[in-house]
Chain A
Amino acid sequence: MHSIIKTSFAAIVAAGITATAAHADAHALSGDLVIFSDMSNPAPRAVMESMVERFGAMHPDMNIELTVIDREAYKTQIRNFLTADAPDVANWYAANRMLPYVNAGLFEDVSDIWEGQLSDELASTKGALTIEGKQYGVPYTYYQWGVYYRKDLMEQYGLSEPTTWAEEKANCQTYLDNGIKCYTIGTKFLWTAGGWFDYLNMRTNGYDYHAALTGGTENWDSEATRATFANWRELIDMGAFIDNHQTYSWQEAMPFMVNGEAASYLMGNFSVASFREGGLDDSKLDFYQFPEITAGIAKGEDAPTDTFHIPSGATNKENARAFLKFVVSADNQTLINNGENLGQLPVNSLSSVDDDKFLNEGFAMLSNDAPGGVAQFFDRDAPAEMAAVAMEGFQEFMLFPDNLDDILARLDEAAVDIYAE
């Protein structure tokens, strides 16, 4: 049984695991620690379980209870359990996505954890976890988004990584002419469409427009947004996306690319583990930054940060704080983010990025090639309710592009209420 790691058992298993710095200065704690996690995919789940195991080894008298909840279901359950029966530690996301819980007083102020050295180590994400000068959680990972593609197919048709919108479309046309869809995508859970909108919008109108639109200061029915949708429509009209994407989750859309029926996938780097498991090694899988659309606009990127928080209703806050400190430690972040585990980027600046093709490329891209700014993601920058309505609209648009007027009007209507609160 995975979910309850009995500490005594964990201690035996983990005995002899390298003592970390945190181990040396922390006195062993006892009592309970209840963790709710949304790391439900196989690789993240294993990471979460190993973290609990290692933390348990440091505190053999602590009874740690880990509940892993389906990542999609978690999004609808979180407010419920935060208000009703709060765990001691919970996964969530940074920035605007955590704002409603902070405003409702459901997340504990953890500024004390950030005091001193840690603030420097985690400086890059401090802003995303700060609201009115206080920090409400800690980051454990972030990852780049971009276009993952079948290198072998690209070579087969004599194409190269596109850097402009024209090249992107030309490549796509070549694939289509050869009976291959350009992009696989599964929009059943909507957010994948949010990724497409983000990139098209940031490339068409820039990062600042993205921030203004998700922040509620720009209208949906505007020249600029329409331009974004017009670009999207070009791809839709070409038939660039796989059919029936509305019935697939992102995982279910993956086989289309693995089997060579689709050439690429706009995704986050967490997908690499699944690609590799599906049999695409580095000779067949590669990555490029989403190409330029409006010339001269500084490129913005999506790089969502995933986080841990302590609910205000937690009962074992001391243990929870110790766990959060353990999570952000440089060693732990190096370990959990390496190519064997999450395959993502560590947030702690003292951690080392694993020597992995995609991690290196992503790290370089986010450090040097995102002058416009780094966004969290559509559904993390926009208020959750707006994101829900908007992403439903994106899905509708991908299926029925002619409904655009109606969709935009609806979004503006919803925005009035949502941003007024």
Chain B
Amino acid sequence: MFPTPIKKRTRGWQIGYQAMIPVVLIMWLLPLLAVMLFSIKPEADFVAGDYWSLPSSLEGFKNYGKVFFESDMPRYMWNSIRITVPTVIGCMILSSLTGFALGVYKFKANLWIFFMFIAGNFVPFQILMIPVRDLTLDIGLYNTVTGLVLFHVAFQTGFCTLFMRNFIRALPFELIEAARVEGIAEWRIFWYVVLPLMKPALAAMAVLIFTFIWNDYFWAVVLTQGSETQPVTAGITSFNAQYRAAYHLMSAGSIVAALPPVAMFFLMQKHFIAGLTLGAVK
């Protein structure tokens, strides 16, 4: 193990290390802690120019109440869910198919198609912006959740295929061969043999895509407008414009907007990290 395990060090080292972690952590998360502090402070503190002291009164309920009941935030949150969940499902379906095809079969174009997915995945969004906006307009899906979902599914298929294909590659191929010898149809092999084994990978991928899509801002701005369709990342900017300089509300709003992916991360931590690091180790 590297660095040398702390257990092998002296007692002083051990205590020093244990004490240092929380300090470093607090410094690391300082900007975030500040927002949390802001979100429970009363407006009066900011008016008085008193930003960093402890709140003069705890106004968390009032501030968050305002976000939930007196603004469009719940609506934006709901839109985010309507965008994110179908995208995740769509990606899982498409990429388990493509991943299976590229991971199991040997054919000439295999590597080329695989590389096409990877290359597309790295493309800067801006080069897609104008044509995708036009396409969405032409098929009448501009400013609809469907239009945004379709694009997200298509684009994320690149990353998801890479993910799935690598995972399937790592499965024991003998399983598939054994099934073929038995004369089982290929689609049944997919459904009954490979898919059950892909569950952990699908879970990991779902959490990742959830986070990516929830946090998307660019495409939300390009393909949607207004509180009917826009997700919370776009909503937070108009929320902030409404409450410009009202730091307590802006903070509360930001925390609400950030919460779902954070919750997702903590609930599915194992899958999340497994997903992110797939490919980082061989």
Give yes or no for direct A-B contact (beta carbon below 8 Å). yes
Chain A residues within 8 Å of B, Cβ to Cβ: 1-3, 36, 40-42, 45, 65, 67-73, 77, 80-81, 84-85, 249, 251-252, 254-255, 259
B225 touches A70 (CB 8 A): no
B227, A3: Cβ atoms under 8 Å? yes
Chain A: which residue is nearest B224 at the CB level?
A85
Pick 21 A–B contacts, CB within 8 A, sort by A: A1-B75, A65-B228, A67-B225, A67-B226, A68-B238, A69-B226, A69-B238, A70-B240, A71-B241, A72-B241, A77-B225, A80-B225, A81-B143, A81-B225, A84-B142, A85-B142, A85-B143, A85-B225, A251-B244, A252-B245, A259-B49
If the complex has contacts A3-B72, A3-B227, A69-B226, are A84 and B244 also in contact, measured as CB distance less than 8 A? no
Q: How far is the CB of B149 from chain A (nearest CB, A)?
A: 17
- B238 adjacent to A73 (CB under 8 Å): yes
A84–B221 alpha-carbon span in the complex (Å): 13
Shortest C-beta distance, B224 to chain A (Å), equals 9
Cβ of B237 under 8 Å from chain A: yes
Q: Which residues of A contact B238 (CB under 8 A)?
A: 40, 68-70, 73
Residues of B within 8 A of A254 (CB): 245
State whether A69 touches B225 (Cβ < 8 A). Answer: yes
B93 an interface residue at 8 Å Cβ cutoff? no
Residues of chain B in range 136-184 having any CB-CB distance to chain A below 8 Å: 137, 142-143
B225 A252 Cβ-Cβ under 8 A: no
User: Smallest CB–CB gap between B220 and chain A, Å?
Assistant: 12
Q: Does B242 contact A (CB under 8 A)?
A: yes
Q: How far is the CA of A80 from the CA of B72 in the complex (A)?
A: 22
Cβ contact within 8 Å between B244 and A249:
yes
Residues on A with C-beta less than 8 A from B237 are 70, 73
Interface residue? B74 (CB, 8 A): yes
| B241, A84: Cβ atoms closer than 8 Å | no
Task: Give Cα A361–Cα B137 distance, bound, in whole angstroms.
Answer: 49
Cα of A40 to Cα of B242 in the assembled complex, Å: 6
Docked Cα-Cα span, A69 to B235, in Å, equals 10
In the bound complex, residues from chain B placing their C-beta under 8 Å from that of A2 are 70-72
A41 partner residues in chain B, CB cutoff 8 A: 242
> In the complex, what distance in Å separates the CA atom of A36 from the CA atom of B133?
20
Whether the Cβ atoms of B245 and A67 lie closer than 8 Å is no
* Bound Cα distance A36, B227 (Å): 11
Q: Write out the residue numbers on chain B whose beta carbons fall within 8 Å of the beta carbon of A70.
A: 237-238, 240-242
CA of A249 to CA of B244, assembled, Å: 8
**A1 & B74 in contact (Cβ 8 Å cutoff):** yes
Q: Compute how far the CA of A249 lies from the CA of B245 in the bound complex, rounded to whole angstroms.
A: 9
Give the shortest distance, in Å, between A83 (CB) and chain B (any CB). Answer: 8
Task: Compute how far the CA of A84 lies from the CA of B134 in the bound complex, rounded to whole angstroms.
Answer: 9
Rounded to whole angstroms, the CA-CA distance of A259 and B50 in the bound complex is: 13
Least CB distance, B231 to chain A, in whole angstroms:
15
Given contact pairs A1-B72, A81-B143, enumerate 15 new A-B contacts (beta carbons under 8 Å). A40-B238, A40-B242, A45-B242, A65-B228, A68-B238, A69-B238, A70-B241, A71-B241, A84-B133, A84-B142, A84-B225, A252-B244, A252-B245, A254-B245, A255-B245
Which B residues lie within 8 Å of A42 (CB)?
Answer: 242
In angstroms, Cα B142 to Cα A416, docked, is 35
Which residues of B sit under 8 angstroms from A67, Cβ to Cβ? 225-228
- Chain B contacts for A65, CB-based, 8 A: 228
Question: Which positions 27-84 of chain B face chain A at CB distance < 8 Å?
Answer: 47, 49, 70-72, 74-75
Which residue of the partner chain A has the closest CB to B48? A259
- Whether B241 pairs with A40 at a CB distance below 8 angstroms is yes
- Of the candidates B49, B137, B225, B237, the one having the most CB atoms from chain A within 10 angstroms of its own CB is B225
* Cβ–Cβ < 8 Å partners of B142 in chain A: 84-85
The interface residues of chain A lying within 8 Å CB-to-CB of B74 are 1
Q: What 3 A-B pairs have minimum CB-CB distances, sorted nearest first?
A: A70-B241, A67-B226, A85-B143
| Smallest Cβ-Cβ distance to B242: which chain A residue | A40
Cα(A2)–Cα(B226), bound, Å: 13
